[in-house]
Amino acid sequence: MTLHLELEERLARFKSTEAALVFQSGYTANVGVVLDPHAGRRSHRLGRAEPCQHHRRLPPVQADRTIYRHLDYDHLNQILKTARAKTTGKILVVADGVFSMDGDVSDLKAIRALCREYDAIPMVDDAPRHRRPRERGPGQRGSLRLKDDWDIQIGTMSKAFGVMGGYVCAPRPLIDFYIHKARPFLFSSRTPRP
């Protein structure tokens, strides 16, 4: 087994998901997360640069982007209610586990509950921190015991792990989709071997 496949298997186990895919960086992992061309995307206003940059690059016909206010889950509820009334398609909710700029922590239980209510796909970006002090488990998701509740998890290995690369952890069919469709994965070199 090659080293990068072993790394992906270990990341999937660490994040309690079926599969993982390693990218060159956290930025390319974020840009590589692509869903159905008509999927809506709901992101956080104070989110990090990668998801926001990705949303800006999407043509209007491809995805509707609405940004919910910082830690305002009533606002997210209103957005999801409106979006679900307009579409039967996929809605992706992007959340940061911990906000690297100010240290605020998202209420991932509240976000996940809203995703279930409106049949939305939850994605957590846990790049700033995989584990908070004195808490068990990988990242904010692990500390809140939200096992199997997050369809897509994204992170970077350059912060908590101190090495090059980023990753997407998700169900196997979604990872297989990214292997064939995520342009930053398809058109980039592999991360270097040790």
In a domain, 174, yes or no: yes
Supply the pLDDT for residue 41: 62
Question: Do residues 127 and 100 lie in contact, with contact meaning Cβ atoms separated by under 8 Å?
Answer: yes
In a domain, 180, yes or no: yes
Token pair in block for residue 21: 């895919």
Confidence grade of residue 53 (pLDDT, cut at 50, 70, 90): very low
Confidence grade of residue 157 (pLDDT, cut at 50, 70, 90): confident
The Cα 63–Cα 53 span in angstroms is 14
Nearest to 87 by CA among 118, 66, 122: 118
- Beta-bridged to residue 156, according to DSSP, are 166
Average pLDDT of the chain, as a whole number: 77
- Beta-bridged to residue 92, according to DSSP, are 41, 121
In a domain, 62, yes or no: yes
Question: Do residues 26 and 50 lie in contact, with contact meaning Cβ atoms separated by under 8 Å?
Answer: yes
In a domain, 194, yes or no: no
In a domain, 95, yes or no: yes
- Beta-bridged to residue 170, according to DSSP, are 19
Number of structural domains the chain divides into: 1
In a domain, 93, yes or no: yes
Could you tell me the CATH number of the domain that includes residue 32? 3.40.640.10
Which residue range forms the structural domain that includes residue 145?
3-186
| Percent of the chain surpassing pLDDT 70 | 70
Residue-wise DSSP of the chain: --HHHHHHHHHHHHTTSSEEEEESSHHHHHHH----TT-EEEEETT--HHHHHHHHHS-TTT--EEEEPTT-HHHHHHHHHHHHHH-SS-EEEEEESB-TTT--B--HHHHHHHHHHTT-EEEEE-TT-S--TT--SSHHHHHTT-TT--SEEEEESSSSS-SS-EEEEE-HHHHHHHHHH-HHHHTSPPPPP-
pLDDT at 58 over 90: no
In a domain, 193, yes or no: no
pLDDT one-digit tens code per residue, 71-118: 999 999 999 999 999 988 888 898 888 887 778 889 999 999 999 999
Supply the pLDDT for residue 147: 53
In a domain, 131, yes or no: yes
Confidence grade of residue 128 (pLDDT, cut at 50, 70, 90): low
